[in-house]
Amino acid sequence: MRHLTLLTFFSLPAISLAADLNGSTLNLLWGLPFAMILMSIALGPLFFSHTWHHHFGKITAFWTLSFLIPFSLIFGAEAGIRTVVHALIEEYIPFILLLLALYTISGGIFVGGNLHGTPKLNTSLLAVGTALASIMGTTGAAMLMIRPLLKANQTRTRRVHIVIFFIFLVANIGGGLTPLGDPPLFLGFLKGVDFMWTVKHMLAPVLISAILLLTTFYFIDNRLFKQDVAEQSKATRQPSPEKITIFGKWNFLLLAGVVGAVLLSGLWKPDHNELEILGSHYALQNLARDLVLIILTAISIIITPKQVRAGNEFNFDPITEVGKLFLGIFITIFPVLSILKAGEAGALGGVVSLVHDAGGNPVDTMYFWMSGILSSFLDNAPTYLVFFNMAGGDAHALMTGPLFHSLLAVSMGSVFMGALTYIGNAPNFMVKAIAEQRGIPMPTFFGYMAWSVVFLVPIFILHTFIFFIFKLL
């Protein structure tokens, strides 16, 4: 891809710069590569899993080049190069470095022990995982907590509901409290949304969702636990003393370092504001954050015993897949964002009009449900970006002005509704795969949706009334 871009650069004159592109002049065909990447992510694992798992990088590169080459030919090579540089510096690099740090450091913490999967213990583990998700990310918390939870319930017959509620809470809703928790919120942080704005205003929705789901889970698990106990022999039910052991504890300090690095980038305002690279701006505080994240990741790899990572069955395959996919996503999303910035004058004017009334004011309920439904079938990070820009793209105005509830709607929708399907958030499929490896017969794609619709949609309807219709909180 690099060689093709350079060849185009040297052979064609620059017609315009990417940053100056008028989205109203673009048609929807420019968004086709972006849509095809998202469709490949959604359908590839379902219908051609073998091909997808072995060639997802090549498929993503194909769709990325199908945008870059025509774009460079029509608008000039410089515009193409600037688009790539902008995606790398202002979005992709900070995004992937945070995920890499959280994934690597959490993979260096192993929770072992002899636990018994009672309703109280299971509910407690889900609650802990939900809290950790906002500190170490949904991916990190899910990978840390799923194995001890499954081990504690290995003698249980009825376990499917445990994994499903784990996906609801730990892999999705729990990540809604901070920009560290879920990629959409971190992208918002990179766009200028204050760290503490997310903490303050997402607290109520996260707490309401978590309390309702944890309470529901306890009663379901308690009933099924009694059935399991009644069916088991007395010998099987003989409990051994419970104990829990944590290995790789130094990694908790490294996680604190990650939190500190992210906070640093949001609070530190140096006199020398930024570096400019081919029209893209790399703030000095963001450069410092990214360097710290790289150092913390390297320290975790060095100090963590191999046995600890082996106990977690740790490898870099998941983060490699995320890295390849999102590089293509962040590049190909550029024309879509440009079209959306054009508002009703752009090719997506019909979509823009759906989330705005006749006076051009945002309809927060529509922002919540549209961003959420799309996040459940596409990737929630680019979906957040799309609706963030649809709402104006000005973080300060969204946080403090009349568009406050629009930002809240996009944040809640993109984070919470990623739990509606297996493909809504990256950890969902990872948790499903680990559970199936442990012999748990997980529901099909639509079988899982039956669970999510029954238990999650009523909560989302409640949120609609509380936060967007009556605006009680």
pLDDT tens per residue across all 473 residues of the chain: 333 333 333 333 333 345 457 788 888 899 999 889 888 877 887 788 789 888 989 999 999 999 999 999 999 899 899 999 988 988 889 888 988 888 889 889 887 777 788 999 999 999 999 999 998 889 888 888 888 898 889 888 889 999 999 999 999 999 999 998 998 998 899 888 999 999 999 999 999 999 999 999 999 999 999 988 888 765 455 555 557 788 899 999 998 898 888 878 877 878 777 777 777 778 888 889 999 999 999 999 999 999 988 887 788 887 888 888 889 988 998 888 888 777 778 887 877 788 888 887 889 999 999 999 888 876 688 789 889 988 888 999 999 888 899 999 999 999 999 999 887 887 887 788 788 877 888 888 888 999 999 999 999 999 999 999 999 88
- Residue 101: C-alpha distances to residues 37, 168, 203, 221, 313 (Å): 25, 23, 25, 34, 17
**Which pLDDT score, from 0 to 100, does residue 455 have?**
98
The rounded distance, in Å, linking the Cα atoms of 397 and 404 is 8
**Which pLDDT score, from 0 to 100, does residue 50 have?**
85
> 111 by DSSP, 3-state: which?
strand
Q: What one-character DSSP code corresponds to residue 362? A: B
**Which pLDDT score, from 0 to 100, does residue 13 have?**
35
Contact 182, 444 (CB under 8 A): no
**Which pLDDT score, from 0 to 100, does residue 240 have?**
58
Nearest to 172 by CA among 438, 423, 434: 423
Cα angle, residue 146 at apex, residues 227 and 460 outer, rounded to 5°? 80
> 363 by DSSP, 3-state: which?
coil
151, exposed or middle or buried, with CB in 10 Å at 0-12, 13-18, 19+? middle
**Which pLDDT score, from 0 to 100, does residue 17 have?**
46
DSSP string, 395-409: HHHHHHSTTHHHHHH
347-350 contacts, C-beta under 8 A, 24 or more apart: 347/26, 347/27, 347/28, 348/28
Q: The pTM is what?
A: 0.79
73, exposed or middle or buried, with CB in 10 Å at 0-12, 13-18, 19+? middle
Q: Which residue has the tokens 């759906």?
A: 354
The rounded distance, in Å, linking the Cα atoms of 72 and 58 is 20
The rounded distance, in Å, linking the Cα atoms of 415 and 411 is 6
Nearest to 418 by CA among 451, 460, 467, 377: 377
- Residue 196: C-alpha distances to residues 96, 185, 267, 390 (Å): 22, 12, 10, 23
**Which pLDDT score, from 0 to 100, does residue 4 have?**
36
**Which pLDDT score, from 0 to 100, does residue 468 have?**
95
Which pair of tokens denotes residue 150? Answer: 């499954």
